[in-house]
Amino acid sequence: MGPGKKLGFALGWLLLALPAMGADLAVLHNGFSIRHERRETTGSVTRLYLGADKGYVDIATDQIERFEPDLSPAAVPATAPAVAPAAAPAMGSSRPAKPRPLQAQELNEVINSISDRHHLDPDFISSVIHAESGFNQRAVSPKGAQGLMQLMPGTASKLGVSNAFDPRANVEGGTRYLSELLERYNFDVIKALAAYNAGPQRVQQYGGVPPYYETRTYVARIVRDYNRKKIAERKAAAATAARARRSKPAASRPAAAKPAAIAGLSSQASR
């Protein structure tokens, strides 16, 4: 659990009631986007209806940067398998073939594709994987969590992941679970990450991040890693823009603009 792309962190509450036709994305100032089928705005709150049987989330309107059509591929029907089936067993063997470990570039492509399908920033999912398993596709925790996103067997079963060591299935299941947690907590990323680590029942019990050293360290680690990536990304973009400006004749250069504040994850998790 890049600018204008998916997900972000921190929400608040404004506008006119605006019904949406078809599926749209509400792009938030913090970088997140929320797919919804229609919306209503009352006072300072915009209610986004997520679709049949998914309910709605209330978002502070002043946290919404814009609305745009959802041009991503159609979502997989609820009756279809959530993840691709495991590889077929080899001829003459009764056991399924062991999933082939993915190379770094292949894994990046899987993360990008799955994150895009769930409208999450791939850097966010990558930071979660980094904290969970260190990108070890065969990782097993002392408690029995498995694979890249450290799915517990019971959670994996509920998500339709038959083999948690299949990297594609694991990332799909873990990303979908994070997306569900984000919806559950109205896109409060800190709570969603805490629930991913300690369980939703603990977040409910303590009204937020539980007072566990492991969970607080886990959330803070992901916050720092994600922010580090976003800061590096913005610095690279600024450097590219500066080189482009220097390459133009002086007369054609636009007036310098003040740099925008860096939007990132809240550091409250480390408190």
Q: Which residues are known catalytic residues? A: 132
CA–CA gap between residue 119 and residue 144 (Å, rounded): 29
Tokens for 28?
Answer: 């938030």
Q: How many CB atoms neighbour CB 40 within 10 A?
A: 17
Q: Which residues contact 145 (CB under 8 A, 6 or more apart)?
A: 132, 151, 152
Residue 227 in contact with residue 264, Cβ under 8 Å?
yes
CA–CA gap between residue 119 and residue 247 (Å, rounded): 36
Beta strand pairing call for 45-51 and 24-28? unpaired
Q: Cα separations (Å) of 125 from 19, 138, 150, 175, 193?
A: 31, 18, 13, 7, 11
Residue 115 in contact with residue 121, Cβ under 8 Å?
yes
Q: Which residues contact 259 (CB under 8 A, 6 or more apart)?
A: 238
